Amino acid sequence: MKQFTIPNIYRSSLISAIKNKRKLDDKFKKDFTPTLLDFGSLQIYLARHFGFCYGVENAIEIAFRTIEENPRKRIFLLSEMIHNPQVNADLEDRGVRFLQDTYGKQLIDFDTITKDDIVLIPAFGTTLAIEALLTEKGIPTEKYNTTCPFVEKVWNRSEQIAQKGYSIVIHGKPKHEETRATFSHVSKNTPSVVVNDMKETIELAKYITGEKDAATFETEFKGRFSEGFDITKDLQRFGVVNQTTQLATDTQAISDYLKQVVRQHYQLTDANINERFADTRDTLCYATNDNQTAVTGLLETDADLALVIGGYNSSNTSHLVELCEQKLPTYFIDSYKRIINKDEISHCNWTTKEQLTTKAFLPNKSVVRVLITSGASCPDSMVEKVIEKLVSLYNADNLLESVAARFC
């Protein structure tokens, strides 16, 4: 896989050494057990896979190279480059300005930008309407487009099945940048509708079977279907694609459920199911799969708590929190600074985004076991700082070098 040039501020010699050793020992990625960092009274278990993915490193490389190569130009980002506060703050510190917030609210009017400006398209991609607007202004988009290749893969696969007469059901958060971009690209080629979760999927299926009156569809799914979408015919033949940062198991469950509904409604067999339902399993992102599977392996460890590190508006990170919370106390943090001391941690509720403070989050035990993972937009350097902060709380700083030596 391609190696990217990203600023050293995001790298960690400790984490790089651990990842490289795990890669050498497990070339085919079959071992999802965590890595133990043993500091005596503190034992830290690192997930097998975590941190920056291919798409994130690609976006960061393009963004920082663009800044370096254009010192006298105004540089804008359509919205956050990735959902990580440190990276976005670093870009702002270097003069980059954001045109929209993460939900598409305009922060700087498009009328103020000119053909002499640079506009970076974030890793989530953007809508065809915004691409057209930039092109009309004479602003080149190709060179400064950091859209993740795995997001583009979803678009390309959707176009392929659209050419075969299939409509598309998109599993995604309706307000998320990536979902908005995917919906724009997909609906250009075929009728499309967005579902957020299994609950909505079950309701959508009732229109396929005729259990629900078609007249209520437009109200129930308002703002989430393509222009001209006809619920009476556009779901007679379709496939399911996803926002790449969703839980892979949720996307698969939604796809499996709709496939079964179609099979029963049209009385199809395995041999002819593809007459009505397209196989799109290849649109699931490898990094999302790896990180989520690694958390499953991580949770097989007997531990006291889990720390999940990443931006609070990061979809893929929030799903790692969701998985961990099913088994043990879990704290969602975006910085090592959230760990105040042994008795207090500031963290985020991943569903409400409410900032919480928990006392005595570290148990009073002779040996405390902590699970750690991070989202695909979280720098390894932040993970290292979290480890260092925990180690300092147990006065085990002197052991850091010897523990790190195991992986060199």
Q: Which residues are catalytic?
A: 178
Q: How far is residue 55's CA from residue 81's CA, in Å, rounded to a whole number? A: 11
**C-alpha closest to that of 406 among 49, 38, 12, 40:** 38
With beta carbons less than 8 A apart as the criterion, state whether 371 and 301 touch. Answer: yes
Alpha helices in 94-224 (DSSP H): 128-136, 149-162, 177-187, 198-209, 217-220
223 burial (CB, 10 Å; 0-12 / 13-18 / 19+) is exposed
Query: What DSSP designation does 216 have?
Result: G
Question: Which residues are within 8 A (CB) of 29 and not within 5 positions of it... i.e. 6 or more apart?
Answer: 48, 49, 290
Side-chain-side CA neighbours of 362 within 13 Å: the count stands at: 23
Alpha-carbon distance of 174 to 171, in angstroms, equals 9
- Count CB-CB contacts under 10 A for residue 236: 16
Task: From 316, 312, 298, 339, select the one nearest 52 (Cα to Cα).
Answer: 316
15 within 8 A of 44, measured Cβ to Cβ: no
DSSP 240: E
Report DSSP state, residue 338.
Answer: G
Could you give the 3-state DSSP secondary structure of residue 377? coil
CA atoms of 308 and 68, how far apart (whole Å) = 32
Left if phi > 0, otherwise alpha if psi is -120 to 50, otherwise beta: which for 59?
Answer: alpha
